[in-house]
Amino acid sequence: MKVVTNYGNLIAGFFDIVKDITTHRNGTVLIRTAYLDEEKKVYRHFSQECQLFISDTK
């Protein structure tokens, strides 16, 4: 599954844009973002992979 969003946060003068979120069958999620500077130019690309945990609340 691939989800494309236009979500963003302003952090310390940089705008953080989530470019896409990809889930994998093994339960990992890859999140790719781009940091934009004050002129809205790409300052840096960033990606992070994490493991999903499903807990039973019963």
Please check whether residue 57 lies inside any domain of the structure: no
- 56 belongs to a structural domain: no
Three-class SS state of 54: coil
CA atoms within 13 A on the CB side of 42: 8
pLDDT at res. 28: 85
| Residue 58 counted as domain residue | no
What's the CA gap between 50 and 31, in Å, rounded?
8
Residue 25 within any structural domain of the chain? yes
Q: What does the alpha-carbon distance between residue 33 and residue 26 come to, in Å, rounded to a whole number?
A: 22
Look at the chain and report how many structural domains it folds into. Answer: 1
Domain that holds residue 38: 2-51
Asked whether residue 41 is domain-assigned, the answer is yes
Res 5: pLDDT: 45
Mean pLDDT per 10-residue segment, the chain (58 residues): 46 66 84 80 82 71
**Residue-level pLDDT at 15:** 67
**Model pLDDT, residue 3:** 42
Instruction: Check residue 24 and give its pLDDT.
Output: 83
Sheet strands (E) in the chain: 2-3, 8-11, 14-23, 28-36, 42-51
> What pLDDT does residue 14 have?
58
